[in-house]
Structure 1
Amino acid sequence: MLFIALLITLGLLAALADRLGAPGLANWPARMRLAMALALLLAGSDHLLNPQRYLPMMPELLPYPLGLVLFTGLCELAGAIGLLLPRWRRWAALALALYFVCVFPANIKNALDGLNVAGLPAASWYYWLRLPFQPLIILWALYAGEWIGRPRVEQASWEPVE
């Protein structure tokens, strides 16, 4: 839930920056891309700098929990950079949507087991409330990458040309 709050806050700040004349933020996909990239840069860096915070979130059946935490941090950083590169933004957004699907089981585990980790909320309701936001994060990535919400291109007519 902290991640979605960060996305919304950064998205609104990007909209404000557009109002103040910042270039490249004239539409919502651009604002949402920047917001997600910044949020992922923060989250990915935290995964690499403080992996012990994320180890209790890992489902027990997954091998190499430390390696997976570090890998997820690298995925978040790569996704953030990819969103900012026009040539890669659509594929980065698609990969991030898949990534957010893949980490959902860890969110379910946290809701079922609860967490007591420094720097993270201890209340179990937080982790239950967080679950319905995961689809919104997936949709955010797809919209930011312009996989959804793109203007429709009119279909060419198949009528013969005279």
Structure 2
Amino acid sequence: MRIFKNISLIILILGYLFAGANHFIHPNGYLRIIPGYLPAPVLLNLLAGLAEIVFALLLIRPKTRKVASYGIILMLAAFLPVHIAMLQHSPLKVGELQVTPTIAWIRLLLQPVLMLWAWWHRE
């Protein structure tokens, strides 16, 4: 079980590093899905990317893993309005991806799974 958890942690770290970097590499896709009622979408996108990178790096060390795990959970909760807006406005194009209502539902329902995954690595 330990090997599975270690592999899972590596995947989680790499996933958040990639996702965070992607906010800087392809910002337009993210800006397209930030709800209009949220202020400063460019800044929010950059902060989201930075948060994902910082939390990924904090997951590496056991001493900071708990903070990172709870930070990821809170971050994913903060992202829920984006996923709800995607569902409300689907179908829509995000970068090269065509987000259908089915994809929007999957992304929304995936959030609790990602939260549980981060929680599993809190220790």
State the TM-score, normalized to the length of structure 2: 0.91
- Map 1:1-162 onto structure 2 (within 5 A): 26-114=2-90, 115-146=92-123
Shift of 1:29: 3.4
Give RMSD over aligned pairs.
1.5
* 3-state secondary structure, aligned to 1:132: helix
Report the secondary structure of 1:145's partner residue. Answer: coil
**1:80-137 superposed Cα distances (whole Å, 9 cap, x missing partner):** 0000112101111111111111101100100111221222233222102222111010
Question: Using CA pairs below 8 Å that are at least 6 residues apart, which structure has the higher relative contact order?
Answer: 2
- Higher helix content, 1 or 2: 2
Q: Which structure has the larger Rg over C-alpha atoms?
A: 1
Question: Equivalent pairs: percent with the same residue?
Answer: 30
Q: Deviations over 1:47-99 (max 9, x none)?
A: 01111110011011111001000100000000100001121011111111111
> After TM superposition, which residue ranges in structure 1, 4 or more long, deviate above 3 angstroms?
26-29
